[in-house]
């Protein structure tokens, strides 16, 4: 009986090892049954929600501009506190307000792609539509800055594998935002609600979602007057998303290895 049990355990161990080996091989080959969610794309480096970093840095981002009133008023507050941020701009609004877009760049901020028509891509997403929307916006960004952007945010955070693949091939990394840092300022929940939400949840490497164009009077500027000095007092620095990526623990480790060699 003891020999039979030993044999059963040995057989089970061999089967488990074979199963693990087959699973690893399937993953390496790209298992079609793999769930392609945030963790899948994040692990591959195909999308960004936030950045792992030991440094006290945070990226404030603004969607849907440029707006001749709201963007300009936000830029004034950012300048007052020496904060550098990323503006995910709509192509047709850049075409309408090129001077505002140029001011974003001239003051040291980052101008990135948020599609031309603010399209909420419906799944399955058309690769042709993605490419057209991104190319049209890149044309406007090049007109005001002289260079292409490297980041892209899909409106509403809507994405699928096609969108990720197409944008990456175009040299535009899809960037969403930290799930705990959606201010919902577009809904105008109140200055205190916006500011307290960001301050209470602030963590190293966060990407915070704001808007520099909303329907109705914006509360974002007044919220920033509370957020910026308070987080600065806590030791946070405000950087662009591209700067944040370079300050990730992974990038820092790569730089250290390169320097050592």
Residues identified as active-site? 63, 211
Number of Cβ within 10 Å of residue 120's Cβ equals: 11
- For tokens 């087959």, what's the residue? 22
- For tokens 């990135």, what's the residue? 112
Q: 233 CB contacts (<8 Å, ≥6 apart)?
A: none
Q: 164 CB contacts (<8 Å, ≥6 apart)?
A: 41, 46, 47, 174
Q: 228 CB contacts (<8 Å, ≥6 apart)?
A: 77, 78, 80, 81, 83, 238
Q: CA quadruple 39, 43, 46, 51: dihedral positive or negative? A: positive
Backbone angles phi, psi at 112, to 5 degrees: -130, 170
CA distance 14 to 2: 19
- For tokens 């039979």, what's the residue? 4
């Amino acid at each position: 009986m003891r020999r039979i049990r030993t044999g059963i355990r040995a057989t089970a161990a061999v089967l488990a090892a074979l199963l693990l080996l087959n699973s690893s091989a399937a993953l390496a080959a790209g298992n079609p049954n793999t769930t392609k969610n945030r963790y899948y794309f994040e692990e591959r480096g195909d999308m960004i929600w936030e950045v792992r970093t030991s440094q006290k840095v945070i990226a404030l981002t603004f969607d849907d501009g440029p707006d001749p009133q709201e963007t300009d008023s936000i830029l004034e507050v950012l300048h007052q506190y020496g904060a550098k941020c990323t503006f995910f701009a709509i192509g047709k609004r850049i075409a309408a307000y090129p001077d505002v877009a140029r001011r974003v760049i001239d003051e040291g901020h980052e101008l990135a792609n948020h599609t031309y028509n603010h399209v909420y891509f419906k799944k399955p997403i058309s690769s042709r539509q993605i490419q057209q929307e991104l190319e049209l916006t890149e044309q406007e960004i090049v007109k005001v800055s002289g260079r292409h952007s490297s980041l892209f945010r899909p409106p509403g955070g809507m994405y699928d594998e096609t969108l990720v693949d197409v944008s990456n091939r175009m040299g535009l990394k899809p960037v969403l935002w930290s799930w705990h840092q959606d201010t919902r300022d577009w809904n105008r929940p109140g200055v205190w609600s916006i500011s307290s939400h960001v301050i209470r949840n602030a963590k190293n490497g966060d990407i915070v979602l704001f808007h520099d164009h909303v329907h109705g009077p914006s509360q974002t500027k007044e919220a920033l007057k509370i957020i910026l000095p308070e987080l600065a007092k806590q030791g946070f620095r405000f950087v662009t998303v591209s700067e944040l990526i370079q300050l990730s623990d992974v990038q820092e480790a790569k730089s250290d290895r390169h320097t050592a060699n």
